[in-house]
Amino acid sequence: MKLLRDKVMTEGIVLGNQVLKVDSFLNHQMDPVLMREVGSEFARRFAGEGITKVLTIESSGIAPAIMTSLELGVPMIFARKHKSLTLKDDILVEKVYSFTKRETNEITVSKKFLLPGDRVLIIDDFLANGEAAFGLARIAEQVGASVAGIGIVIEKSFQPGARLLGEAGYRVDSLVRIASLENGTVTFVDEVHESL
């Protein structure tokens, strides 16, 4: 997706070999036109999949997810993150480990919004180790909903999330895929292929 790729090249800030800072357009300040285009692109890629719900996790997934859900004409649900939880029987809960924050969060969705038979499209801003995406998929599957796919704005392909999700049978569709952040430079996956 060229618009997104251009943004990553011009505004992304590489911090070390693992971290790409995109807080000028994706996860702190947000570019609404880019978000709309991201939503259109996810809707295009998952058209014909019979999506009935878009599922994401607070906070940075919300803007791309609401734009995708608008385009698909279905509701969006965002899972909430909690450090601890008073157990209730009307919510779906999964544990998600954050490598960045080095803590385990519980993510929750109210049972009334995910139903058996729902076809769920999971949307998130970043894919690194895949913990959040796996957690969201398990939430959907707890109630007998099926996961049609996982739409990611920026995939860090040098981390294992995309591979692990693929091996688990999930369709992962990422708008840009980053092969490496070494030497302070963003290298996209297709650039690696082109240079082979």
The annotation status of 132 as a binding-site residue, yes or no, is yes
- The nearer residue to its own copies, 20 or 109, going by C-beta atoms, is 109
Query: Which amino acid is present at 5?
Result: R
The annotation status of 145 as a binding-site residue, yes or no, is no
H or E stretch at 188? strand 187-188
The annotation status of 129 as a binding-site residue, yes or no, is yes
The strand pair at 76-82 and 187-188 is best described as: unpaired
Q: What is the DSSP string of 85-120?
A: ----TTEEEEEEEETTTTEEEEEEEEGGG--TT-EE
Q: How far is the CB of 47 from its own copies (least distance, A)?
A: 16
Q: How far is the CB of 19 from its own copies (least distance, A)?
A: 15
Q: How far is the CB of 125 from its own copies (least distance, A)?
A: 12
- Give the CA distances from residue 95 to residues 33, 49, 79, 126, 144, in Å, rounded to whole numbers and listed in that order: 33, 28, 12, 18, 18
- The nearer residue to its own copies, 78 or 170, going by C-beta atoms, is 78
The annotation status of 105 as a binding-site residue, yes or no, is no
The annotation status of 12 as a binding-site residue, yes or no, is no
Q: How far is the CB of 133 from its own copies (least distance, A)?
A: 18
- The nearer residue to its own copies, 27 or 129, going by C-beta atoms, is 27
- The nearer residue to its own copies, 75 or 166, going by C-beta atoms, is 75
The span from the CA of 136 to the CA of 93, in Å, is: 9
Interface residues toward its own copies, by CB under 8 A? 23-24, 28-33, 35-36, 58-59, 62-63, 66-67, 69-70, 73-78, 80, 109-110, 112-113
Q: How far is the CB of 150 from its own copies (least distance, A)?
A: 19
CB 25 within 8 A of CB 11: yes
- The nearer residue to its own copies, 50 or 166, going by C-beta atoms, is 50
First to last CA, the chain: 22
- Residues near 87 by beta carbon (within 8 Å), at least 6 away in sequence: none
The annotation status of 140 as a binding-site residue, yes or no, is no
Pick out the residues of the known binding site for 5-phospho-alpha-D-ribose 1-diphosphate: 128-132
Pick out the residues of the known binding site for xanthine: 20, 27, 156
